[in-house]
Amino acid sequence: MAKQRLPHIVTYDIAEPKRLQRIHRFLKKVALPLQYSVFLLEADAQRIAQLEQQLATMIHPREDDIRIYPLPNQPDWCAIGRPLWDEGMLLTGMRLPVAAQLKAETFWDEHTRALTRSNS
């Protein structure tokens, strides 16, 4: 049976500018930026656990805060104010574009191997 991939919102508040940039660059590789510190990610439970583990190594827990919120499969979107995307761009499903999925899959595979090696 295929693992169920659900959308998640990832947000952060990072106190130190270098850590902030590192977290932002990291998340841009695996998720869709909605705002500067808010990302949309589609992942199964195993990938979320890997993400949590990786992010935990990148922050200072007494100074920084990262939140991961699961969303329903088909969330109702509401945007007030400046649009997130250019006119005509629609999110008709939660799947990221194929190129972004492949990039994210490759990224996850590399980091999973790195985490496995570092925990051995």
Residues annotated within the binding site for Mg(2+) are 13
Strands (E), the chain: 6-13, 32-35, 38-43, 65-70
SS3 46: helix
For residues 116 and 12, what is the distance between their CA atoms, to the nearest angstrom? 25
From the number of C-beta atoms within 10 Å of its C-beta (0-12, 13-18, 19+), residue 9 rates as middle
